Structure 1
Amino acid sequence: MAGIEKQKQDAPASSPGPAATVTGAPAAPSAVRGASLLIILQVASRAATFIANQLLLRFLTAELLGVATQLEVYYLSVLFFARESLRVAIQRQGGREDTKKKDESSSSSSSSTSQSAVNMAYVSVLLGALVALLLGWSYQTSVQATSIAATPYLFPSLYLYAVASAVELWSEPAFVVLQLRLQFGARAAAESVATVLRCATTLGAAVLSAKAADPQWRNIGVLPFALGQLAYGVGLLAVYSWHGIKLARRDGFSLVPKKLSPPALFAFQLFDRPTLNLARSMAVQSVVKHLLTQGDTLLVGILSTTQAQGIYALANNYGGLAARLLFQPIEESSRSYFSRLLAGGKDNKTAKDKTSETAPTAQAARDLQTLLKLYLLLSLVITAIGPAASAPFLGLVTGPRWAGSGAAETLAAYMWYIPLLAVNGVTEAFVASVATETQVYYQSVWMGLFSLVFAGAGYVCLHVLDGGAVGLVVANIINMTCRIVWCVVFISKYFSTRGSAGFFSDTARTLLPHPASSLAAVVTNQAVQRLVVPAVGAMAQIIQLVKILVVAVPLLLTIAFFERRFFQQCYSFVRGGGQATA
């Protein structure tokens, strides 16, 4: 559905400014401003989608929402397998080129880098067609007969999702160039237009269906979602192509594949060999990562009915709002920022090289610590008031149709999962920015093991303990904890080999919130649990939410007071006045 949002594409790398580091990395304030723009974009687009979803949920059954979730996973899988590893590799290529040519400003080298990125993007288009066919065939042969009978226009909707994925992938050549050229405005325009088109198309199709004179068209199943996704792809393709063509004409490259020289550096005289090799190395990891990311939905599909899938999808949709609105844009910009700040870092450096990289490494350590502490402070608020607010919030936004479905209990459990999502996102972004091909391979192996742990935990929680969607959240928590531990070990080793051995050894000072902030969060959690009572009706639910907000005010004031020095440093950091350190 429109609100079961796909994980957004990698953000453009941060804009280099006069304060760029010696490695060619952008100034930190530029990266923060880029992330801020993406957050504003996410908030605006998600707000429009959220409003559209509230209207649609009044007409949806849990079964239809479950089928819509399955089709969304199909669509996301096509995009992820086709472009994820290539995007990361191209982004790393951009950082490498910045390092190699930091003393050059020739337009020819710039256009060559852009053309190489364009050529690589067409691999995504070809992969997307193949993956869409394979996954589409797999879905058609495995879908339950009850789902086919209960969902009108199921297969036409599947075909539209396939076309939508192909259309969106055709925007990749323009997107990757705009990403390398740091065109934040182009992405903002593209996603804004695409989101408006998707919401308008989905709602329009649903309304027209409800008012249709012919009874055959009054129930069109998930077809409105498929049409909306196709409109989204068309919007992205149109806007990205417009900006990409203008940039290509100005800088002397082409948005169609062109041969490059020397042939020894480019496979088939088209594809940059180091980038292609890195993408191939990351492909296995991408598959495993996607299975872990979407594994909850796949596991629910195997072990539960479409109604249970719809209930989990609803809770996951609202529970993931914080991750999609705030954490994801920061994660994307962090990956771009750390890639450029630490570009070209290898383990086999000379003593002179290691000395020259000390400053950017120290800055990266400080910035990563700042992000992690911000996440921990925000997590205090989420876990303090989120569980109690789940029931009145869902009752208010979804209406009585979903009352008693178990979605509120699932959303309450999800509040404890959000902090892990945040920490995992930024730590994996850092790993993706600096890991060598060998390290990426080992990460893939470990993630494969974690997928087995997740499957086992899911089986126990869902099948043995019959925990339903709440059990699935517990399985996700176990899986995410494993991934975070691996990233923490990797990051600690990374900094220890570069003169920052104490990165995680001083967590009490650098990362953990003030004891008073933690105590206030515990007290607030217990207070709201006792104050909030079951409520029926919009006004009663609003009263419960107001109670929670009132109780949350002292918590926010406590955090603001005891963490004031840290927040002041963060403000100076955003304004360009220095690094924020705890």
Structure 2
Amino acid sequence: MANKVQSSDPPSATAPAAPSAVRGASLLIALQIASRAATFIANQLLLRFLTAQLLGVATQLEVYYLSVLFFARESLRVAIQRQGGRETKDDSEKKEDKDGKAKKSSSASSSQSAVNLAYVSILLGVLVALLLGQLYLTSINNTTGDDDSGDDDSNPPFLVTSLYLYAIASAVELLSEPAFVVLQLRLQFGARAAAESVATVLRCATTLGAAVLSTRLASASGSGTGLDIGVLPFALGQLAYGVGLLAVYVWFGTGLARRDGFSLLPKRLLSNTKKDDYALQLFDRPTLHLASSMSVQSIVKHVLTQGDTFLVSILSTTTTQGVYALANNYGGLAARLLFQPIEESSRSYFSRLLADDSASRSETGKKTGAKEKSENTTASRAARDLQTLLKLYVLLSLVVTAIGPAAAAPFLGLVTGPRWAASGAAATLAAYVWYIPLLAINGVAEAFVASVATETQVYRQSVWMGGFSAVFAAAGYVCLRVLDGGAIGLVAANGINMACRIVWCLVFIRDYFASRDVSFFGDAASTLMPHPLAVLAAVVTSTAVRRLVPAVSAFAGPVAQITQLVKIAILAVPFLLAV
């Protein structure tokens, strides 16, 4: 029979100190920069061997992998973070003890509850991997009847084998979820940095090693050069990544479990209040309920996030898929390096900062005296922090859109070589630059919404997101089929969809703070909009770059491309000083 751990209410909802949150975000940003730099270098070497068609197939497999992980753990992760930060005043008083034993017991039980919930993600992951894998196999069989013998880039060799490896890799990564969630609750950013760093190094080494080895074997056998094993190096690299994550997270999680008295294996929980607080005496019912209510929104969000890949798979060729994937990889580099860590840290920060306010308002709508003043102070602090983030993103958008489009072609020609010059990737990347600001603003806005939205508001957001997905599909059809815009048309369709999502989030944020007597936008010109001189500097710089820096051919040598990038950088210096 499983051991029983005494459980009480979740840990304290005290607002995180700003310096702690900043340190955590800074560490995640540094981690992303280091890991993406290693991945970037490995990808540059791989691109010398890849064609646009082969990269398109690899992108499809990556979407399968990300879909399995997203559907299995996203809603549970958010629910655990939100429920883990809530505690009433009475609960806090119960935990006070002379020697701190009660507090330690509560911490252990809340950690055990989070660990148990993580096993739901593992079970869901296996089911989703089987379902999506079967759907993908069906689509492959409709194209070719031979599993592993494809002889063109749209159905490369070892495609089905690679699919199986991606499925196994997703299951291996999900096995690290019990340790991850408890380390995340304890704000152990160092453990996450170590895990992702080790995993990234393993993935890069494995992917590149498999590609180089296959090329040498092909050359030795006289069959020519190139990746004759198709996308198999990517699959092997992803499996190595999952193994690395699992090993490091289990190492750190085991040490934390030993110190705090909980287990990384599921254990039964006993409630101090009601017997039905836990399903099967394992899973916290309120958290499960919140996760289930957020699951529909998560599905819609993922379809919207990866909808560009789904849509382009239906409406375009694998060549277009590869071109867009290349532009997305480079154009979205800033989003993965900077915006994603800030988004994750913001979600955790606002969840904890506003947890008491959200919980108490769900219980009663009456606020009086010092408590109301305290909550207004907390809401004002959250509004100022969110305004700061959005203002910084707006200023960053000026820099990106003023310089980025002109730098796209020489940058791409330098890092990928002439192999991709005729694919239209440079023009697509230049268009993608205008999409980056929308990604940034939407990320932090949706992070705030996920931190404070009630179940009713989550359902309402899901309905709106469904409407936006229809807008996205219509825009995609017009841009890809009617206007024949190719990958650039897909960027435009994504921009329309992202703009709709941003408007909804900003309206939600305005109403949220207004209900707490805090004016979020106030004078929008001074709160969020950049200074008029900064806008003027951006316009002047963009015009100067286009006129003073002549475009070079994508087939030009690296010296010409580096020279053009240096000229653009020189023109950017006074602009940055002005901003």
With normalisation by structure 1, the TM-score equals 0.90
Tell me what 1:351 maps to.
367
Does the CA contact (< 8 Å) of 1:388 and 1:532 recur in 2?
A: no
Of residues 265, 268, 286, the one that matches 1:259 is: 268
Q: Partners of 1:475 and 1:291 in 2: how far apart? A: 14
> 1:148 deviation in Å?
4.0
Tell me what 2:176 maps to.
171
1:474-489 map, 5 Å? 474-489=492-507
- Paired AA for residue 118 in structure 1: V
Of residues 158, 168, 184, the one that matches 2:189 is: 184
> 1:142 deviation in Å?
1.0
1:222 matched to 2:212? The reply is: no
> 1:102 deviation in Å?
4.5
- Paired AA for residue 84 in structure 1: E
Does the CA contact (< 8 Å) of 1:23 and 1:99 recur in 2?
A: no
Q: Partners of 2:563 and 2:196 in 1: how far apart? A: 36
Of residues 231, 248, 266, the one that matches 1:239 is: 248
- Paired AA for residue 222 in structure 1: V
Tell me what 1:538 maps to.
558
Does the CA contact (< 8 Å) of 1:157 and 1:226 recur in 2?
A: yes
Q: Partners of 1:415 and 1:100 in 2: how far apart? A: 51
Does the CA contact (< 8 Å) of 1:97 and 1:113 recur in 2?
A: no
Q: Partners of 1:405 and 1:250 in 2: how far apart? A: 56
Tell me what 1:332 maps to.
344
Does the CA contact (< 8 Å) of 1:461 and 1:468 recur in 2?
A: yes
Of residues 499, 524, 530, the one that matches 2:541 is: 524
- Paired AA for residue 80 in structure 1: F
1:7-406 map, 5 Å? 24-97=14-87, 101-103=91-93, 104=95, 106-143=103-140, 145=143, 148-150=150-152, 151-212=156-217, 213-214=220-221, 219-262=228-271, 263-344=275-356, 345=358, 346=361, 348-352=364-368, 353-406=371-424
> 1:101 deviation in Å?
4.6
Does the CA contact (< 8 Å) of 1:52 and 1:203 recur in 2?
A: yes
Q: Partners of 1:197 and 1:556 in 2: how far apart? A: 37
Does the CA contact (< 8 Å) of 2:206 and 2:240 recur in 1?
A: yes
Q: Which has the larger radius of gyration?
A: 2
Does the CA contact (< 8 Å) of 1:358 and 1:498 recur in 2?
A: yes
Of residues 520, 545, 551, the one that matches 1:503 is: 520
> 1:404 deviation in Å?
2.0
> 1:145 deviation in Å?
2.3
| Secondary structure of residue in 2 paired with 1:60 | coil
* Unmatched 5+ stretches in structure 2: 1-10
> 1:378 deviation in Å?
0.6
1:334-372 CA-partner distances (Å, limit 9, x unpaired): 000000000031354322243331111110000000000
Does the CA contact (< 8 Å) of 2:173 and 2:243 recur in 1?
A: yes
1:258-315 CA-partner distances (Å, limit 9, x unpaired): 1111331001111101100000000000000000000001111001111110011001
Tell me what 1:460 maps to.
478
- Paired AA for residue 470 in structure 2: L
Tell me what 1:444 maps to.
462
Tell me what 2:576 maps to.
556
> 1:100 deviation in Å?
6.8
* Further displaced range: 204-213 or 384-393: 204-213
* Unmatched 5+ stretches in structure 1: 1-15, 17-21, 560-582
* Further displaced range: 215-224 or 23-32: 215-224
| Secondary structure of residue in 1 paired with 2:288 | helix
Q: Partners of 1:521 and 1:532 in 2: how far apart? A: 19
> 1:239 deviation in Å?
0.2
Q: Partners of 2:304 and 2:238 in 1: how far apart? A: 24
1:408-466 CA-partner distances (Å, limit 9, x unpaired): 11111111110010000000000000001111111111101110110010000001110
1:200-220 CA-partner distances (Å, limit 9, x unpaired): 000110111111145689610
Does the CA contact (< 8 Å) of 1:24 and 1:98 recur in 2?
A: no
Tell me what 1:431 maps to.
449
Does the CA contact (< 8 Å) of 1:168 and 1:237 recur in 2?
A: yes
How many residue pairs were aligned? 538
Q: Return closer, same or farther for 1:208/1:100 CA change in 2, 3 Å cut-off.
A: farther
| Secondary structure of residue in 2 paired with 1:261 | strand
* Further displaced range: 229-238 or 304-313: 304-313
Instruction: Give the RMSD, CA atoms, in angstroms.
Output: 1.6
1:515-547 CA-partner distances (Å, limit 9, x unpaired): 111100011111111223123110000111011
Does the CA contact (< 8 Å) of 2:52 and 2:320 recur in 1?
A: yes
Does the CA contact (< 8 Å) of 2:158 and 2:231 recur in 1?
A: yes
- Paired AA for residue 321 in structure 2: Q
Q: Partners of 2:89 and 2:535 in 1: how far apart? A: 43
1:542-579 CA-partner distances (Å, limit 9, x unpaired): 111011101101110101xxxxxxxxxxxxxxxxxxxx
- Paired AA for residue 187 in structure 1: R
Q: Partners of 1:349 and 1:191 in 2: how far apart? A: 43
- Paired AA for residue 214 in structure 2: S
> 1:510 deviation in Å?
1.2
Does the CA contact (< 8 Å) of 2:13 and 2:87 recur in 1?
A: no
- Paired AA for residue 31 in structure 1: A
> 1:30 deviation in Å?
1.0
1:121-171 CA-partner distances (Å, limit 9, x unpaired): 000000000000000000011136269442000000000000000000000
Percent identity, aligned pairs only, is 75
1:94-124 CA-partner distances (Å, limit 9, x unpaired): 1114877545361111011000000000000
> 1:33 deviation in Å?
1.0
| Secondary structure of residue in 2 paired with 1:73 | helix
- Paired AA for residue 555 in structure 1: F
